[in-house]
Amino acid sequence: MPETPQLPTVAGRPARVVSLVYNDASADSRVQKTAATLRAAGADARIVAISRESAGHAPGPGTVGAGVPVYRVHDLDLTRLLPGLTRGWRRWRGRNPDGTTPVSSVPEPATGAAPSTASAPPAVGGEAAPPAVHPAQAVAVDLWMRLYQTTRLGYWWLGAVRAARDVAPDVVHANDANSLVPALLTTAGTPGRVVYDSHELWRRRNTRQDRWLAPAVDALVEALGTRLAAGVITVSPSIVDWLQRRYRLADPPTLVRNIPTARQVPPREGGRLRAMAGLGEDDKVVSYTGSITTGRGLEETVDALALLGDDVHLVLLGYGAPQYVTRLLVRARQAGVADRMHLVGAVPSELVPQTLADADVAVVYVRPICLSYRFSLPNKLFESIHAGLPIVAADLPDTAEVVRRYGVGEVFDARSPAELAEAIRAVLADPGEYRRAAGAASASLTWEGEAERMLGLYARVLGARADR
């Protein structure tokens, strides 16, 4: 494998890069890979994230991934700071004081009903809010959650700026628009520059449609950030085009897709998915990997499973909010396939291809309920290709283009469970060619190939300050 190109030094030292991300960075493979690549290219790269003590990610310094330094800023977590208030708040909203929701409060969807795509706002401590029982209560909960989440973000911004300024970075890598404000504040009045990495189409992501202030602020921040940034990166060709047109950028954003690092396709017999689900070699395994949540076509996939033979099983590798998982299990029971849907938990991102290897086909399904989803290019597509699996993918522009170009599977109408079932049936009937195509495609679809473009952008950004 060729050596990683080296970035210019600044004033005789490695370039200092701070990557800002509004999560704990423990499971964000893109953020980890970006920082690791910059370090391999000679930069002093580190991550500034947010703490999540309930998951074991305390405030202060640490490492993630392959030893990448991370500093986690204190989170404004009222569950920890004001436990008595939190317990009272939960009782008032119909929860148990420990934060769990009584099973009786989780509604069962009506048979044949279309799945809801609305996401409940997170509650104190990050829980999802159950349905309110009174209109006044619903308004109070909504106003409180908006205020709390806005204050929580602002609190992280302040901590992130302090942590980043201590490093005196040459470049601040802003992961998504919610980190643009602290990135711009960190570099204000300094020679430092900002690189904006848009992991999705931020202004058209899946959010509540009854809001007006937050989208207006998002639009203002991203418009200002893209114009002030020294470089813009994003994850799919469609988002590249949208950002360039919307903000009238002289140069298109740099395309850096979120693809796993180069590796050999694991042997099928080395996979773990069947063992995790308790399935045998005679079973047909349809895999799903990623967040178990709304907008991922899981309801339609359950409906499609009911149209397939009794030997076909759906195995979900990932995690989701308990309320959503409960509703999905209810739907599976109503469809008569509860015994053929298996939730096996999550594994670290670097182990996903190895784990998936003994599946028969991977479903890559994002419902186009917002423009960001329509333009997405999911990690699970590339993880499944790296596992050597045939793909059954929703007919969305960027996803379908990859599937068709490399011949790794079939594309189906994203609105039709019947078409999904037919595509799965077609692949299961003759998977060999698709498996061979996936193995060949994995050799050229690598993070190292994507990172070359990112490092080229960084070389240009650092060029003005580089040693001559």
Per domain, the residue ranges of the chain are: 1-259+446-468, 268-444
Per-residue pLDDT, 384: 97
Q: Give the mean model confidence (pLDDT) for residues 382-399.
A: 97
Closest CA to 299 of 414, 192, 390: 414
pLDDT score of 80: 61
Residue 428 phi/psi, 5-degree rounding, is -65, -25
Helix axes 298-305, 417-429, angle to 10 degrees: 60
pLDDT at 117: 32
Query: Distance (Å, rounded) from C-alpha 453 to C-alpha 255?
Result: 7
Structure tokens at 210: 């009854």
Does position 371 have pLDDT exceeding 90, yes or no?
A: yes
Strand order in the sheet with 231-234: 60-64, 68-73, 44-50, 16-20, 171-175, 193-198, 231-234, 254-255
- Sign of CA pseudo-dihedral 161, 47, 54, 198: positive
| Greatest Cα-to-Cα distance within the chain, rounded to the nearest angstrom | 69
| Helices first, then strands: H and E counts in the chain | 17, 14
> How far is it, in rounded angstroms, from Cα 48 to Cα 181?
14
Question: Would you call 400 exposed, middle or buried from its count of C-beta atoms within 10 A (0-12, 13-18, 19+)?
Answer: middle
Burial label for 245, CB within 10 Å (0-12, 13-18, 19+), is exposed
Enumerate residues 6+ apart whose C-beta is below 8 A from 422.
Answer: 412
Query: Mean pLDDT, to the nearest integer, of 454-460?
Result: 97
d(CA 58, CA 51): 5
Spatial contact of 262 and 1, defined as CB atoms under 8 Å apart: yes
The whole-angstrom separation of Cα 249 and Cα 69 is 33
What is the band of 206 on the pLDDT scale with cuts at 50, 70, 90? confident
CATH superfamily, with its number, for domain 1-259+446-468:
Glycogen Phosphorylase B; (3.40.50.2000)
Per-residue pLDDT at 96: 63
pLDDT reported for residue 89:
52
Instruction: List the structure tokens of 112.
Output: 């044949």
Q: Which of 13-17, 388-392, 462-466 has the lowest mean pLDDT?
A: 462-466
Question: Cα(15)–Cα(2) distance, rounded to whole angstroms?
Answer: 22
Do the first three CATH levels of 1-259+446-468 and 268-444 match, i.e. the same topology?
yes
∠ CA(311), CA(313), CA(317), 5° rounding? 160
Q: Are 29 and 258 in contact (CB under 8 A)?
A: yes
Higher pLDDT, 263 or 4: 263
Res 443: pLDDT: 96
Q: Indicate the SS3 state at residue 465.
A: coil
Give the integer Cα–Cα distance in Å for 203 and 218.
7
Give the Å distances, CA to CA, from 221 to 196, 212, 305: 12, 15, 43
pLDDT of residue 110: 35
**Cβ proximity of 85 and 161 under 8 Å:** no
Q: What's at 357, amino acid-wise?
A: A
The interaxial angle of helices 432-444 and 397-406, nearest 10 deg, is 110
**pLDDT the model gives residue 36:** 97
pLDDT tens sequence across 290-330 = 999 999 999 999 999 999 999 999 999 999 999 999 999 99
With 80 as the cut, is the pLDDT of residue 267 above it? Answer: yes
pLDDT value of residue 92: 55
Collapse the DSSP code of 297 into the 3-class scheme (helix H, G, I; strand E, B; otherwise coil) and give the result: coil
pLDDT in the model for residue 2: 63
As a whole number, mean pLDDT of residues 323-342 equals: 96
pLDDT at residue 376 greater than cutoff 60: yes
10, 161, 248, 454 from 34: Cα distances, Å? 20, 20, 26, 9
- 125 pLDDT higher than 50: no
Render pLDDT for 142-184 as a digit per residue (tens, 0 to 9): 787 788 889 999 999 999 999 999 999 999 999 999 999 999 9
Degrees to nearest 5, angle at CA 32 with 443 and 161 = 150
Q: Domain 268-444: which topology?
A: Rossmann fold (3.40.50)
pLDDT-derived band at 212, boundaries 50, 70, 90: confident
pLDDT at 336 over 70: yes
- The Cα–Cα gap between 94 and 91 comes to 5
Residue 81, token pair as written in the block = 């700071």
DSSP state for residue 344 in the 8-state scheme: -
- pLDDT per residue as tens digits for the range 10-21: 999 999 999 999
Question: Tens of pLDDT along 223-244?
Answer: 999 999 999 999 999 999 999 9
Which of 433, 445, 461 is CA-nearest to residue 399? 445
pLDDT digits (tens, 9 = 90+) for 51-104: 999 889 999 999 999 899 999 999 997 666 555 555 555 565 566 666 555 444
pLDDT at 79: 64
> In the numeric block, which tokens belong to residue 46?
């580190």
Average pLDDT, whole number, for the chain? 88
In the sheet with 341-343, reading across from the earlier edge strand, the strands are 341-343, 312-317, 284-289, 361-364, 391-394, 409-412
Handedness of CA 414, 350, 291, 35 (dihedral sign): negative
Angle between helices 379-386 and 432-444 (to 10 degrees): 110
